[in-house]
Every structure is written in structure tokens, then in C-alpha cells.
Chains A and B, each alone.
Chain A
Amino acid sequence: MSSCGNPATEEQALMPRRLKFGKSKDCVRCRLKPGNIVIRHAVYCKECFTPIVDMKFRKALEPSVNARAGTSKRPKLKASGNLCLAFSGGLGSSITLDIVHNTYFSSRPPLDDLGKPRGGTNHPRNVSVWPSCLVCYVEVCGAFAGMHDRTEDIRSVVERYPSFEFVPLRIEDAFDGSWWTKVSGSNITPQVWLELSKEGLITDGLHVASKVTDLTPVEAMRSYLSSLPTQTAISSALQNLTRVLILHTAHSRGSSHLLFGSSLTSISISLLSSISQGGGYAIREELQEEWAPVAASGSKPNNVLRVIRPLRDVTAKECAIYAWWNNISVVGRDKQRRAILGIAALTKNFVVGLEKDYPSTVSTIARTCEKLEPKDVPSGQCRLCKRPMQSAIQEWKDRISIRSYSDDKLAADLAHIPSPCRGNLDTRTPPQVPPLLALTDFLCYSCHTTLTSRSSRGVKQSAPGVSSATPLPIWVADRGLHEDGLIGDGTRRKIPKEEMLDIVANFLINDQELRGMRYLQRFL
């Protein structure tokens, strides 16, 4: 290491390490006890730490409880529906479970000296804010060979909170018509399939097809995941499937609020990861959103579900300490699941490292993203991820990308490439592309990228006997995708009523069957 040349300094002097906290090691809140934990340069003792986290949780949640804000500064809390908690078994959701139970569902509130419930008139413990609480868990072992099914482990954790109802789901439910019937009330929803290339990957055109198959939901899900082009896409797809499963389940069960246990660290990770995959348009929804399934034309609008992340101001370090000091057991995640590579995992490594050395920067990521919003109004809801969708995606992609090598100037530029290497470069004029690509207009940019973005390492080798199409999640076909005539040869056409009747004929009960059912009812 070269010297600065200043003769007054010691040559071997090292820069003193910067302290990670203020001058004093005493608690900054009570100023009485020595501190036990450092949170973003502030020192807290054990007794002061837990109430601080509880207060952050309530400040993030309670302003959104009442359907209308009202004029009172401290309104009585009363939600319009029940509460749903998304539980993954991880650190944040375990803490969320515990805090929600202790704050809003504890049957034995602490009493004051007069024997009355402590906390005053407006204290949430004295009023039933939500009539009931569901805890939704999505088991993902079906997507990974050899992964242990943790549903019963999770059930045993939730059963420690007697006020909560456990609602287990499976990731393959996204391809299960019977689950969709339960949550949507739709009896008939055809399966939408995407055509695959010879390498077994989804084609850029996103052409849809209609197929009848006997694939089980697990097989359909695995077919879908194996058709995705990268590990990043698989990770993203699993997150979307999990989220949409929980959204529909919560909405169908009459929930007015859905809570995710994402900490500030997790939110910062998901924001950066989402933006890097083209999800910037839905950046506000990553933090908080009001969601409802799009109603069919002519029917009344659906009730809104408020999706909130009450640990959004609590870092992963604070969550870990809170769980340790309050004896909250964390089931955790399977090692195989954590080993998934891709942008999400790389972003997590980066942000976690950042939190260690520069803890305030993690908060800066979330705070900066909170200030962002898209310029224009959404053109609808993406059929795959159920988030707001921007318009004119395909036109924008056409403007920024090379679609063919048939341009004369481009062909001349490529002349220097040796002939054997030019095999993949098709310089012929491409055939006339249909004016409307099947699914493109119904997906957001992030989902479009997830399905079609190839790895820089090249396409994967196709297995022998690869399928020509892959199923999509069952909700993609909701609200008349089939009726719009998008299923077929890729061109739009209006399906005649007679043809529609032919398609659903097998599902209709005829008069003879109806009479038989009424006859049997007499004996039941």
C-alpha cells in the first residue's frame, strides 16, 4: 500500500473502525438500563425492544383496518370482513401470527386494578376488530422432487393459537379445477395451454391452444415449471402462484384484510428483484394494495381485499431478536427451496450483506420505492399474476428489439460471421404474423418476460418426447378468454352459440338425469 507522503503520520496506522452505534451503550428509550441490541445505530434494552416492534406493527396495520378513514384521530377499529394471514413458516410470518393473536385475538386481556380490561375504550384488545382469522399456508413440495411435505408441521404451529383456522393449500391447486370451482363459483373453466418450441420452452408468440388432458394437477404444474426458460423464471412463477392462490382463497372466504409477514429486508429484496425482472409497474403493489378479482361484465363489483405487510418497518435482524426473546418457534424452509438460484437469490445475498455493513440503506430501498408510481392508468389486470397491467407492451418490445434478420443492412453486417455459425440466424423475410398474438395482450410486462426471456447460457436441452404445449394456471382462462375466441389457431373469432353448447354438452345435466337425481333425493 503506497504512503500518502505525510511525515507526521505513522506508516502502519490503521483507520479506527467506525462504531455501529452511538456514543453510549445504554438504552436510548429508557436511558436506565444497558442496551442489549443495536438497531440501525440505536441501542435498546430487552424490555424496551419488544414494545417498539409491537408499535411499529400496529402503526403499519391499523390505519388500514376501517373501510373508511373517518375524521377521528383515534377511531374505533372495526373491519368489514375477517382476517387472513399468509403463513410460510418463516421468521416474519411466525412473528405476524404471534403479534396478531396477542393483540387482536387474545381471549384473556390483561386487567387493571379495577378488574376491567386494560387499555381504555379504543384499545383494540377490548373490541373484536375481526370476527375470525384464517391462516393460509401453501405447500410447495410438489414442485421439488424429494422435498418434505411440511403441512402437518405448519398445522401444529397454527394449532397453538386456538382462535385461528388453518387453511392448507398446495401449489398444484393452481392447476386444479375443483379448487377453482370452490373459490370462484365457476363450474366450467377450460384449461388454457401455451404452445412450446422444439426445445420445450414457451414460444415468444404465446400462442394458446385448447386441449383435453388427463394430467393431474401436480403433473400439470411440473409441466408448466419445466417449460420456463430460467431458474429466475421458476422462482418468480412459484411466488406468483403462491400469492394468487392466497389472494383468491382469502377473497372467497370473506376476508377484508390479508397480511403477509414480509419484513423490511424481505420487501427491499422483493422490490429490487421484481424491478430487475420488469415488474416496476406494480411496484406499489409490492408494498401494499387493494385487490379484487375482476368481475365479469354485467355483474356487481367484487369486495376489495386490503393486502398489508405490517412488518414493513421491521428489519430481519429485529424479527430474529423478537422471535428469540419472545420464544416464538420458527419452522423455517426446506434447504432445497433456499438453494434456488436466480435473480431473487442473488438479490437476497446482496441486500443481506448490505444490511450488515450499512443497515440504513435497506430502509432507503423501500422508502425510495414508496415514492414511485406509474405514469399512466393500468389497462387492466394481468391474467397470470393478477396485478395491474400497462398498455402497449408488445408495441414497445417491437420498437426496442430486432425481430428478424431480413433487413438488408443488417444482413450485410452479419456477412463477416462464418457460414456454419450463421445457422441460427434466419435472414429470410418472416411470414406475416397474425395482428393479435394470443396471450400477449393479457399479460403484464413482468409475466411476459418470465415466460419468454431466455438465459444467456443458451436454451436447455429438450428431453425426448417433450410435449408440444404446457398448461397455464387455471385462473388464466377466467372471464371469457375462451369466449373471446383466443383459443384455436391464434386468430380471434366469435364462437357461435351452437359451438359453445357442443363444448359444454358433457357437463350439462339432461332432463332424464335430473329426474333420476330427484328420485334419489326422496331416500336421503
Chain B
Amino acid sequence: MADTMTIKLVFSGGLELLFGNERNQSVLIPPLVPSDNSTHSSPSSSPSTPSSHNDIPSTGETKAADLEYLIYHLRDHLLKERPELFMENGTIRPGILVLINNTDWELEGEGSYQLCNNDEIVFISTLHGG
């Protein structure tokens, strides 16, 4: 079984205010996640639970952990307030720029980009205007 992946996160442009004012964070993501992006059995959400939570979930289909799942995970486990300012219609809210290892996520397939260990994902809000 592949190990859990460490994903480094950076929030900028005021987005850090929604995540407890912490610009730099990291999360642990399993290699396989539910296809419906359900985040109930995520290892980084409950560190005190037994290691069996790293196993494949027993219900539903699975997929390789991708950026779409990461966004759901951040909304459900790291976001402190105002989820509607982060996610909209199942994806990142318009006006928030996503960089995967310093590259625009539009070049990497957006939500379908498959996460790798030690990836750095940067979320920048462009809504501060002039």
C-alpha cells in the first residue's frame, strides 16, 4: 500500500484569513480517495484514529487522490469560516488562482491533476481589487 502523501499548502491574497490566518500549512492525503470526494475518512482530519483509516474505504468507488478531492478536504477539515468564499459549484470559487508547483493549474488539468508526495499547492485570491 502506497504511503500517505504530504501536500504543502500556501494561502495568499487574503485567503489565509479563512484558514485561521496561517499562510503555510500541510495536509496528509491518502493515495486513494472516494470518487464522490467524501472526506469523512481522511487521515489528517483525525490523527488519533487507528491506522486502518489509511485503508481503502469500504463503500463506493475510489480514485487516485486529485486536486478536486484536496479542495473538498480543505473545505471540510481546514477551513475555519465562510466556505462559500472558497468553494462554489463543486470547485474552487472564481477569483481564486491555484498554482501546482509554481504552475497554473489550467496547464496541469485543473481538478483532475493527480497529487504527488511533497507537491506544493498555492491558493491566491485575486479579489482584493486595485
Contacts and interface: CB of A to CB of B under 8 A. Distances in A.
B38 interface: no
Contact of B126 (A36, A91, A261, A333): A91
B129 A352 contact: no
Given A330-B13, A332-B14, A46 B128 contact: no
A198 B95 CA distance: 43
Given A324-B12, A330-B14, A332-B13, A261 B130 contact: yes
A37 B13 CA distance: 18
B126 A317 contact: yes
Contacts of A260: 130
A36 B102 contact: yes
A349 to B, nearest CB: 8
Contact of A20 (B102, B106, B128): B106
Contacts of A323: 13
Contacts of B102: 36, 46
Contacts of A232: none
Interface in B27-42: none
Nearest to B81: A335
Given A36-B103, A37-B104, A353 B94 contact: yes
Nearest to B99: A324
Contacts of B106: 20-21, 38
Interface string B13-26: 11001000000000
Interface string A309-330: 0010000110111011000001
A91 B94 contact: no
Contact of B104 (A38, A262, A332, A356): A38
Contact of B95 (A25, A311, A352): A352
Nearest to A309: B130
B107 A21 contact: yes
A355 interface: yes
Interface residues of B, number: 21
Contacts of A416: none
A90 B129 contact: yes
A279 interface: no
A92 B130 CA distance: 4
A353 B125 CA distance: 13
B71 interface: no
B115 interface: no
A17 to B, nearest CB: 9
Contacts of A333: 14, 128-129
Nearest to A92: B130
Contacts of A356: 94-95
B99 A311 contact: no
A134 B104 CA distance: 35
A338 interface: yes
A323 B130 CA distance: 13
A266 B129 contact: yes
Output the residue of B126, B127, B128 with the most chain A CB within 10 A: B128
A35 interface: yes
Interface in B99-130: 99, 102-104, 106-107, 122, 124-130
Output the residue of B12, B17, B97, B102 with the most chain A CB within 10 A: B97
Output the residue of A91, A260, A317 with the most chain B CB within 10 A: A91
Output the residue of A43, A92, A265, A324 with the most chain B CB within 10 A: A324
A450 interface: no
Contact of A91 (B103, B107, B128): B128
A366 to B, nearest CB: 13
Interface in A349-364: 352-353, 355-356
Output the residue of A43, A263, A316, A317 with the most chain B CB within 10 A: A316
Nearest to B105: A38
Contacts of A321: 97, 104, 124
B95 to A, nearest CB: 4
A352 B94 contact: yes
A35 to B, nearest CB: 6
Nearest to B88: A353
Nearest to A335: B17
Interface string B46-90: 000000000000000000000000000000000000000000000
B130 A91 contact: yes
A446 interface: no
A318 to B, nearest CB: 9
A93 interface: yes
Nearest to A88: B130
Contacts of B126: 91, 265, 316-317, 319-320, 352
Output the residue of B95, B104, B129 with the most chain A CB within 10 A: B129
Nearest to A260: B130
Interface string A221-257: 0000000000000000000000000000000000000
A90 B128 contact: yes
B66 to A, nearest CB: 15
Contacts of A266: 129-130
B57 to A, nearest CB: 26
B107 to A, nearest CB: 6
A305 B51 CA distance: 68
Query: Which 3 residue pairs across A and B have the least CB separation, nearest first?
Result: A92-B130, A262-B130, A356-B94
15 contacts: A20-B106, A35-B104, A37-B104, A37-B107, A38-B106, A38-B107, A92-B129, A261-B130, A316-B126, A317-B126, A320-B97, A320-B125, A320-B126, A355-B95, A356-B94
Given A92-B129, A320-B124, 16 more contacts: A36-B103, A37-B103, A37-B107, A38-B104, A90-B130, A91-B128, A92-B130, A260-B130, A263-B129, A266-B130, A316-B126, A324-B12, A330-B128, A333-B129, A348-B129, A352-B126
